[in-house]
Chains A and B, each alone.
Chain A
Amino acid sequence: MPRAHSAAGGPGESVAAPGAGKTVLEQAEISRMLTRIAHEIIERTQGAERVVLLGIPTRGVPLAARLAAGIEQVEGRAVPHGSLDITMYRDDLRLRPARALGRTQVPPDGIDGQLVVLVDDVLYSGRTVRAALDALNDLGRPRAVQLAVLVDRGHRELPIRPDYVGKNLPTSQQEQVRVLLTEVDGEDAVRLRVAR
């Protein structure tokens, strides 16, 4: 459920390198949120059985892996996870030059009859998730689909809502939210900056 998460005690106002923007979430907070989401997934799915976590490249993929590891720690059972590239399903392909493709890697048992949790870093317009639902449709027929995001920044353009949220981050459309993850960027942080 979307709920306000207070960044209590976090030095959320510190300014890093010029141009990098304001750090709104730090490593410890991100890690606590992912632990919480992992627990919420277990709770809401009655033990995370027949659950598959699919991350949306780029940064949804390591997030899905971390959530799977978090669930495994509690339940003592491996949770299948993978990645779902949505590039070929985007609705804005013709607005920009052709993009490089990400990797789609579905766990060996597939997604038929499973509960698929889509995992992404930032939820914004909802168009990425719409594309992901289309992509999922071509891969099989899950029994249900849920959505987990680290940051929900608002400004939805489609009727889509997340099931698990790390933090609701009210933003203006002029701002940019950047999620940095150790696996991709060498550090864990969420930064906010005004686009020029």
Chain B
Amino acid sequence: MNRHLISAADLSREDAVRVLDTADELARISDRPIKKLPTLRGRTVVNLFFEDSTRTRISFEAAAKRLSADVINFSAKGSSVGKGESLKDTALTLEAMGADAVVIRHSASGAPHRLAEWVRGSVINAGDGAHEHPTQALLDAFTIRRRFGRSSGAEPGAAAGKPGGGLDGLRVTIVGDILHSRVARSNVLLLHLLGAEVLLVAPPTLLPVAVDAWPCSIGYDLDAALPKSDVVMMLRIQQERMNAAYFPSVREYSRRYGLDAARMGQLPERAIVMHPGPMNRGIEIAAGVADSPRSTVVEQVANGVSVRMAVLYLLLGGAEAGQ
């Protein structure tokens, strides 16, 4: 694996499967009386959050603590932190504190990439603007793999340490605000890498400009896509990033692209419904759908800790590459 995790494109298929396999084993420690491993003792992980986040920050903090790392939380909310030089100053501070890993969330695409040039530790992108959110994609892939029984631990007799598979042949439909979504971009790259067929469904105004270069297909009709989907992933309408009228009204959007109980009925029997959260209940997803047994929303949060533990372990647990 590379030293940093900035984009899902940093991963090879082998790396990605390794993260998922490692997460599979780490998920088991949540059933144990002592939910802690000594592996990253003496290592420092800094959570550098320039943007609001609940689940990602808590998830990274829990993951680092379960591996016995020291965690420093830095929240730039309220301060007048600009871009460019002040990010550099922050980086120099982190350098002086001896951070072994920096988990960064920033509103500017490319901030983690820039940070990686300034610090010696590993940089993990926890969401940069509308660019990428690779650990979210990994936890989504992990959730899909578990639900469809392709993990190494899926069959009771499976040999320990035997690598699990990818997501070959599964059809994943990602619906909604693709334009503002870093989750969508990371997921398209990663799910494609793992062998899934990805279909994006959105109003044309909510698709990014160069989307035809992404390794996926594009559609505009949700009702046509649902019967052919094993997984449907609903994205949040990011009203806080919308500076123009992308659709006539929320109600119309919800009618055409929201997942309600009737639409869920069109899905094949085994299909699952995912949402990276936070949800706008009643807009992109109906409350009944979000709380149905097909929904993996709560599972995704739990799996997030295991997957982030796996990423921290694989980036920090061994010797540095080339050492």
A and B are interacting partners? yes
Q: List 27 A-B contacts (CB under 8 A).
A: A57-B160, A58-B160, A61-B160, A83-B160, A85-B25, A85-B160, A88-B313, A88-B317, A93-B39, A93-B318, A94-B319, A95-B319, A96-B318, A97-B319, A98-B1, A98-B314, A100-B161, A101-B25, A101-B161, A103-B153, A103-B161, A104-B25, A138-B32, A138-B33, A139-B33, A139-B34, A140-B33
Q: Across the interface, which residues of A come within 8 angstroms of B83, CB to CB?
A: none
Q: Are A138 and B318 in contact (CB under 8 A)?
A: no
Q: Given contacts A94-B319, A96-B318, A104-B25, could you give 8 more A-B pairs where the C-beta distance is less than 8 Å?
A: A85-B25, A88-B37, A95-B319, A101-B25, A103-B25, A103-B160, A105-B160, A138-B37
Q: Within the complex, what minimum Cβ distance (angstroms) separates B15 from chain A?
A: 11
A124 at the interface (CB under 8 A from B): no
Q: Within the complex, what minimum Cβ distance (angstroms) separates A162 from chain B?
A: 23
Q: Are A102 and B37 in contact (CB under 8 A)?
A: no
A134 at the interface (CB under 8 A from B): yes
Binary flags per residue of A75-115, CB closer than 8 Å to B gives 1, else 0: 00000000101001100011111111111110000000000
Nearest residue in A to B36 (C-beta to C-beta)?
A138
Q: Across the interface, which residues of A come within 8 angstroms of B22, CB to CB?
A: 100-101
Nearest residue in A to B162 (C-beta to C-beta)?
A103
Q: Across the interface, which residues of A come within 8 angstroms of B26, CB to CB?
A: 101
Q: Are A94 and B153 in contact (CB under 8 A)?
A: no
Q: How many residues of B contact A (CB 8 A)?
A: 27
Q: How many residues of A contact B (CB 8 A)?
A: 25
Nearest residue in A to B318 (C-beta to C-beta)?
A98
What are the 9 tightest A-B residue pairs by CB atom distance, in nearest-first order? A103-B160, A98-B318, A101-B25, A97-B318, A98-B317, A138-B34, A88-B37, A88-B39, A98-B314
CA–CA, A140 to B31, complex, Å? 13
Nearest residue in B to A61 (C-beta to C-beta)?
B160
Q: Within the complex, what minimum Cβ distance (angstroms) separates B131 from chain A?
A: 26
Question: Which of A58, A94, A102, A105 is most buried by chain B, counting CB atoms within 10 A of its CB?
Answer: A94
Q: Across the interface, which residues of A come within 8 angstroms of B319, CB to CB?
A: 94-97
Q: Across the interface, which residues of B come within 8 angstroms of A99, CB to CB?
A: 318
Residues of chain B having any CB pair with chain A under 8 Å: 1, 18, 21-22, 25-26, 28, 32-34, 36-39, 67, 153, 159-161, 163, 313-315, 317-319, 321
Q: A88 and B160 in contact (CB under 8 A), knowing A101-B26, A139-B32?
A: no
Nearest residue in B to A139 (C-beta to C-beta)?
B32
Nearest residue in B to A106 (C-beta to C-beta)?
B32
Q: Within the complex, what minimum Cβ distance (angstroms) separates A58 from chain B?
A: 6
Q: Are B37 and A89 in contact (CB under 8 A)?
A: yes
Nearest residue in B to A101 (C-beta to C-beta)?
B25
Q: Within the complex, what minimum Cβ distance (angstroms) separates A107 from chain B?
A: 13
Which of A98, A104, A184 is within 8 Å of B28, CB to CB? A104
CA–CA, A64 to B67, complex, Å? 28
Per the 8 Å Cβ criterion, residues 164-192 of A in contact with B are 184
Q: Within the complex, what minimum Cβ distance (angstroms) separates B69 from chain A?
A: 13
CA–CA, A95 to B320, complex, Å? 9
Q: Are A102 and B318 in contact (CB under 8 A)?
A: no
Nearest residue in A to B42 (C-beta to C-beta)?
A94
Q: Are A102 and B161 in contact (CB under 8 A)?
A: yes
CA–CA, A55 to B321, complex, Å? 31
Nearest residue in A to B315 (C-beta to C-beta)?
A98
Q: A94 and B33 in contact (CB under 8 A), knowing A101-B22, A101-B25?
A: no
Question: Which of B153, B160, B313, B315 is most buried by chain A, counting CB atoms within 10 A of its CB?
Answer: B160
CA–CA, A57 to B317, complex, Å? 19
Nearest residue in B to A55 (C-beta to C-beta)?
B160
CA–CA, A95 to B319, complex, Å? 5
CA–CA, A102 to B314, complex, Å? 14
CA–CA, A134 to B34, complex, Å? 12
Q: Across the interface, which residues of A come within 8 angstroms of B159, CB to CB?
A: 184
CA–CA, A89 to B321, complex, Å? 21
Q: Across the interface, which residues of B come within 8 angstroms of A57, CB to CB?
A: 160-161
CA–CA, A184 to B159, complex, Å? 9
Q: Within the complex, what minimum Cβ distance (angstroms) separates A83 from chain B?
A: 6
Q: Across the interface, which residues of A come within 8 angstroms of B315, CB to CB?
A: 98
Nearest residue in A to B34 (C-beta to C-beta)?
A138
Q: Are B38 and A134 in contact (CB under 8 A)?
A: yes
Q: Within the complex, what minimum Cβ distance (angstroms) separates A74 from chain B?
A: 26
CA–CA, A100 to B28, complex, Å? 15
CA–CA, A105 to B156, complex, Å? 11
Q: Within the complex, what minimum Cβ distance (angstroms) separates A59 from chain B?
A: 11
CA–CA, A97 to B319, complex, Å? 5
Nearest residue in B to A103 (C-beta to C-beta)?
B160
Q: Are B33 and A93 in contact (CB under 8 A)?
A: no
Q: Within the complex, what minimum Cβ distance (angstroms) separates B305 from chain A?
A: 15
